[in-house]
Amino acid sequence: MTKSTPPTSFPKSEIKVLLLENVHESAHEIFRGQGFHIEALPRALKEDELCAKLEEGVHILGIRSKTHVTRRALESGKRLLSVGAFCIGTNQIDLVAANAAGVPVFNAPFSNTRSVAELVICEVVMLARQLGDRSREVHEGKWRKVATNSFEVRGKTLGIIGYGHIGSQVGVLAEAMGMRVLSHDIRTTLPMGNNKAVESLDALLEASDFVTLHVPETAQTKGMIGEAEIAKMKQGAYLINLSRGTVVDLDALAAALEAKKLGGAALDVYPQEPESNSDDFTNVMRGLANVVLTPHIGGSTAEAQESIGREVANSLTRFTNTGATVGAVNFPQLELAPLEGTHRVLNVHKNVPGVLRDINKLVSDRNANVLGQILATDPQIGYLVMDLDKDVANDVRKAIAELSSSIKTRILY
Ligand code: NAI
């Protein structure tokens, strides 16, 4: 068995990649290295323009957040193999239609983890030293040299709610500054360093000087920090939210800050966020003392953009060359290591009874043997990767493509 990919039967220079919205250069490099043909446009395309482009025979489409990949666009892309969302969210893509069309969609959910974690650490210190307020005052020409309510963070307790990719990184960085770290998660997690998991949210709230939120937006996390939870926090504690805006009840938070129950807060996300940089921002938190407000920039760094470019381009390339769908957001996930001397067929089909039986019969009718085979399914579709011992793959591909259950069939090598 070998991990290297055999040369593909389809010339790589004929693989057409369409990159929109200034996808990062790191992605171009990867596609260029593969010998794929790249067309890049700096802007988003409207539906009609996108349909026209896809009709020209695009194999790989790369977008960011502004291009809407609709059902009609997906239907126009008869040659379309996969879509890359060079960002975190995938709401701009009709994932159900893409699944039904046999088109996996890849994104980069964890490329900006470190960027968010670093901003949290920065804000822990900012809040402890009232840095936002002091900086603004000096800009306004006011000299308020005070030590009251300014603290070191060393020896203080940081409580992390949601100990996933970001939360666990925050915990590691916080310990480097001498903080004690507690975490609470609905999963059993492996605490990093000397971080300590606590059983209940209440236990974390009662023990922490700083509370930072790193949970996803779910029915359970909506409003998870409200009046009752804030009341359980220590007098003068700080709250940090760089997760999702709906997690914190902002009226309750503003009241707690005005009543001096809390010593400060840092927010990067809000229940309602402006659509664009030219829209105004209205929010109950504006103007409150020791409150750091940022415009959802937790993950917005040059490193994160570069990393997103690499991560998504690598997933798209792996899928093009080997059929691997690990990391796809709308597709059954599988990966079969390439086997030397075999011929690989990929098939996406409707998830109905008997498909695998029909396909295996087509193979045995040609006196070929299956050397490797993986099928993964979701309720709508099945995805099959199959390695054959004889060079009958093209014949098998044609026969499989004629099955009424088939959605997409491709031969790799
Ligand atoms: P993740 O999925 O790796 O971790 C989330 C953790 O929260 C998981 O361990 C999960 O078990 C836990 N969790 C879920 N429900 C919970 C509950 N009710 N109570 C306690 N724990 C719960 O996600 P990741 O990558 O760490 O992201 C965390 C949040 O940060 C997400 O909301 C994400 O949207 C947000 N984010 C914000 C960015 C920004 O620019 N401000 C950038 C990137 C992510």
pLDDT in tens, 220-261: 999 999 999 999 999 999 999 999 999 999 999 999 999 999
Q: What is the CATH number of domain 113-293?
A: 3.40.50.720
296 classed as catalytic: yes
Identify which has the larger pLDDT, 236 or 397. 236
Mutate to test the pocket of ligand 1, among 121, 214, 311 (most ligand atoms within 8 A of CB): 214
Residue 217 alpha carbon, nearest atom of ligand 1: 32
Domain with CATH 3.30.70.260 in the chain: 332-413
pLDDT-derived band at 393, boundaries 50, 70, 90: confident
Distance, in Å, from the CA atom of 47 to the CA atom of 93, rounded to the nearest integer, reads: 12
Confidence of residue 6 (pLDDT cuts 50, 70, 90): low
Burial (0-12, 13-18, 19+ Cβ within 10 Å), 43: exposed
**Alpha-carbon gap, residue 318 to 362, rounded angstroms:** 27
Tell which wins on pLDDT, 171 or 66.
171
Give the Cα separation of 308 and 112 in Å (integer). 8
- Per-residue pLDDT at 4 exceeds 60: no
Q: By three-state DSSP, how is residue 387 classified?
A: strand
pLDDT digits (tens, 9 = 90+) for 204-219: 999 999 999 999 999 9
**Looking at ligand 1, which atom is closest to the CA of residue 164?**
4
Model pLDDT for residues 13-42, shown as the tens digit of each residue: 899 999 999 999 999 999 999 999 999 999
Q: List, by residue range, all CATH 3.40.50.720 domains of the chain.
A: 1-111+302-331, 113-293
pLDDT, one tens digit per residue, over 38-77 is 999 999 999 999 999 999 999 999 999 899 999 999 999 9
Judged by DSSP in three states, 207 sits in helix
Measure the CA angle with vertex 299, ends 178 and 269; round to 5°.
90
Range 156-171 burial, b when 16+ CB lie within 10 A, else e: bbbbbbbbbebbbbbb
Determine which residue's CA is closest to atom 17 belonging to ligand 1. Answer: 186
Task: Give me the catalytic one of 25, 273, 303, 402.
Answer: 273
Q: Best mutation site among 118, 201, 215 for ligand 1, i.e. most ligand atoms within 8 A of its Cβ?
A: 215
Can you tell me which atom of ligand 1 is nearest the CA of 269? Answer: 41
What amino acid is encoded at 99 in this protein? N
For residues 159 and 304, what is the distance between their CA atoms, to the nearest angstrom? Answer: 25
Positive/negative CA dihedral, 96, 327, 306, 17: negative
Closest residue by CA, ligand 1 atom 37: 243
273 is catalytic: yes
Residue 227 annotated among the catalytic residues of the structure: no
Q: What is the architecture of the domain spanning 332-413?
A: 2-Layer Sandwich (3.30)
| Cα R_g (the chain), whole angstroms | 26
Q: Which of 316, 289, 258 lies closest to 59, judged by CA?
A: 316
Q: How far is the CA of 299 from the centre of ligand 1 (A)?
A: 13
Distance CA 112, CA 305 (A): 8
**Rounded to 10 degrees, what is the CA torsion of 83, 89, 90, 92?**
-110
Candidates 122, 123, 173, 186: which one to mutate for ligand 1, based on the most atoms within 8 Å of Cβ? 186
* Model confidence pLDDT, tens digit, residues 326-364: 999 999 999 999 888 899 999 999 999 999 999 999 999
- Is the pLDDT score of 198 beyond 60? yes
- pLDDT on residue 3: 45
**In whole angstroms, what is the distance from residue 141 CA to residue 227 CA?**
37
Distance 185 CA to ligand 1 centre (A): 10
pLDDT grade, residue 1 (50/70/90)? very low
Give percent above pLDDT 70 in the chain.
98
Q: Which residues line ligand 1 (CB under 6 A)?
A: 88, 110, 112-113, 116, 161-167, 184-187, 214-218, 220-221, 242-244, 268-269, 296, 298-299
Report CA(145)–ligand 1 centroid distance (Å): 38
Candidates 3.40.50.2300, 3.40.50.720, 2.70.98.60, 2.60.40.10; correct CATH number of 1-111+302-331? 3.40.50.720
